[in-house]
């Protein structure tokens, strides 16, 4: 059965043109002259896609998008805007439009946008069964979490992945901003095309323009051959600009032109090139403050900030830490050929009590360290750095002993403290006596003697 497309435009000539064009491409077409008429047709026919003008008498195209998405937030809507009306386009994307196309447009360009939108709709239908599994395992792509903050991000990814709206991801270093960008790409119709990450802070300013847009032979000293840039490498897919706040103003202007015109020039070239690329940017900077200080272009900020996602630091989603610990232990065990099946209760407690200024990246690094050094089949607290233990109440100290007014039995009190220290050392070492002896600074033989003396020898 052919896909059903609803065309909405107050100009009869445009409706007729689109009906003839799209019918010739195999679509089943319905038309409406007003937003109200379009809603009536939508309720009866349930189209697969809506193509609507933005500016119409009465109900505008933006209002129509709101009304339709209140019923079906996943229905792809393509907005038709006046030539160079960037504000209309941005507003349409913020209301949930899949994409926009400006008048006058090329027939091939409109056809490609419609095909992509319908492909994205079909891909989402196929992924619905996987959604339930991801909820049960607290996974979304490579992102792990069950906190309310992360569940909201998962829902946002589902909503925006099918569109081509620009996305700005903000958050501290190490929170997983690139994983969010990758998830948006993977759950879009662009998933089979390239995902190209660019670390803007790692590329020298003198090379950044050439790396992004490419260059032609002779453009500068050392340019012995023409070379495409990362923008071209991302054709059909997603370009991820990490730490976009590091981009110098001179290159910000060129990125803005690329976003506005969807075309660019290689360094040293005079030929405009078009690519189909979705842009996702990320930053740990306060771009609003950067704008006030003249370090970031206001017009570029609003182009990037069509959809905004804030990734919270790990300290704001503590319930995710045990999930992440288990995930990284399994992942690192596979990568290092180890068979560590679980995490000791003490190690879990120590790791969960730390505040992680380096966020998820710091947690992953410490788990890799512990897995690499661990010799048993469980991850113990032995190789966790001291600063982690110092933040765990009741773990760093062996326990204070108070002397009541009527005195104490020193031998009994000493044995109680010794028993507590040995018990903690054994727990820290995962039951390994040789390791516990090293932690206590005594020989294994001495530990065995003390265990017998204290009635703690269970072997």
Residue pLDDT, tens place only, 226-237: 888 999 999 999
Is there a single domain that holds both residue 418 and residue 390? no
Is there a single domain that holds both residue 97 and residue 31? yes
Residue 326 in any domain: the answer is: yes
pLDDT at 399 over 50: no
CB-CB contact of 398 with 433 (8 Å): no
What's the whole-number average pLDDT of the chain? Answer: 86
Q: What is the domain range of residue 450?
A: 409-459
Rounded to two decimals, what is the model's pTM? Answer: 0.67
Is there a single domain that holds both residue 233 and residue 262? yes
pLDDT average, residue stretch 212-217: 90
Is there a single domain that holds both residue 292 and residue 328? no
Residue 133 in any domain: the answer is: no
Residue 148 in any domain: the answer is: yes
pLDDT at 414 over 90: no
**Contacts (Cβ under 8 Å, ≥6 apart) of 20:** none
CB-CB contact of 275 with 232 (8 Å): yes
Is there a single domain that holds both residue 232 and residue 324? no
pLDDT at 296 over 70: yes
Domain of 444: which CATH number? 1.10.10.60
- The pLDDT confidence band at residue 402, using thresholds 50, 70 and 90, is low
Q: Look at residue 418 in the predicted model and tell me its pLDDT.
A: 83
Is there a single domain that holds both residue 57 and residue 188? no
Residue 49 in any domain: the answer is: yes
Last residue of a domain, one of 350, 373, 396: 396
Q: Is 346 exposed, middle or buried (0-12, 13-18, 19+ CB in 10 A)?
A: buried
Is there a single domain that holds both residue 93 and residue 159? no
Q: Look at residue 459 in the predicted model and tell me its pLDDT.
A: 65
Range scoring the smallest mean pLDDT among 5-9, 52-56, 296-300, 390-394: 390-394
Percent of the chain with pLDDT over 70: 91
pLDDT digit string, tens, across residues 345-367: 778 888 988 899 999 999 999 99
Is there a single domain that holds both residue 303 and residue 174? yes
Domain of 391: which CATH number? 1.10.8.60
- The pLDDT confidence band at residue 396, using thresholds 50, 70 and 90, is very low
- The pLDDT confidence band at residue 403, using thresholds 50, 70 and 90, is low
Q: Into how many domains does the chain fold? A: 4
Q: Look at residue 65 in the predicted model and tell me its pLDDT.
A: 92
Is there a single domain that holds both residue 150 and residue 116? no
- The pLDDT confidence band at residue 392, using thresholds 50, 70 and 90, is low
Residue 44 in any domain: the answer is: yes
Q: Look at residue 130 in the predicted model and tell me its pLDDT.
A: 54
Q: Look at residue 283 in the predicted model and tell me its pLDDT.
A: 97
Range scoring the smallest mean pLDDT among 86-90, 304-308, 358-362: 86-90
pLDDT digit string, tens, across residues 126-144: 665 555 545 545 778 789 9
* Cα–Cα nearest to 301, from 169, 168, 199: 168
Is there a single domain that holds both residue 307 and residue 325? no
The β-bridge partners of 195 are 238
């Amino acid at each position: 059965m052919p896909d059903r497309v609803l065309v909405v435009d107050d100009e009869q000539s445009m409706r007729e043109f689109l009906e003839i064009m799209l019918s010739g491409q195999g679509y089943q077409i319905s038309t409406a002259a007003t937003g109200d008429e379009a809603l009536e047709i939508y309720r009866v026919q349930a189209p697969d896609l809506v193509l609507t003008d933005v500016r119409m008498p009465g109900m505008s195209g933006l209002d129509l998008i709101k009304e339709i998405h209140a019923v079906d937030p996943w229905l792809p809507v393509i907005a038709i805007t006046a030539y160079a009306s960037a504000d209309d386009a941005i507003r349409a994307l913020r209301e949930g439009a899949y994409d926009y196309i400006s008048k006058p447009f090329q027939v091939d360009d409109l056809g490609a946008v419609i095909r992509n939108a319908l492909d994205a709709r079909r891909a989402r239908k196929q992924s619905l069964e996987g959604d339930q599994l991801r909820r049960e395992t607290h996974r979304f792509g490579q992102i792990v979490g069950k906190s309310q903050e992360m569940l909201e991000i998962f829902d946002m990814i589902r909503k925006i992945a099918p569109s081509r709206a620009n996305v700005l991801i903000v958050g501290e270093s190490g929170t997983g901003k690139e994983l969010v960008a990758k998830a948006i790409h993977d759950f879009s119709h662009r998933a089979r095309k390239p995902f190209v990450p660019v670390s803007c802070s790692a590329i020298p300013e003198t090379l950044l323009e050439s790396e992004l847009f490419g260059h032609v032979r002779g453009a500068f000293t050392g340019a012995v051959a023409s070379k495409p840039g990362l923008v071209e490498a991302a054709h059909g897919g997603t370009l991820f600009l990490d730490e976009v706040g590091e981009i110098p103003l001179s290159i910000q202007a060129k990125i803005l032109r690329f976003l506005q015109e969807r075309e660019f020039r290689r360094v040293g070239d005079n030929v405009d090139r078009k690519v189909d690329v979705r842009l996702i940017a990320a930053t740990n900077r306060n771009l609003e403050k950067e704008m006030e200080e003249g370090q970031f272009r206001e017009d570029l900020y609003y182009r990037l900030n069509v959809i905004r996602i804030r990734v919270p630091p790990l300290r704001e989603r503590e319930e995710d830490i045990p999930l992440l610990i288990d995930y990284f232990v399994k992942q690192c065990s596979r990568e290092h050929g180890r068979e560590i099946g679980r995490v000791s209760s003490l190690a879990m407690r120590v790791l969960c009590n730390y505040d992680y200024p380096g966020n998820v990246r710091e947690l992953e690094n410490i788990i890799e360290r512990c897995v690499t050094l661990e010799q048993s089949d469980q991850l113990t607290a032995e190789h966790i750095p001291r600063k982690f233990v110092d933040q765990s109440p009741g773990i760093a100290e062996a326990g204070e002993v108070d002397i009541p007014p009527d005195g104490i039995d020193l031998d009994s009190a000493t044995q109680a403290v010794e028993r507590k220290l040995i018990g903690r050392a054994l727990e820290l070492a995962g039951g390994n006596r040789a390791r516990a002896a090293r932690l206590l600074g005594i020989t294994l033989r001495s530990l065995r003697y003390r265990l017998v003396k204290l009635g703690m020898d269970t072997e």
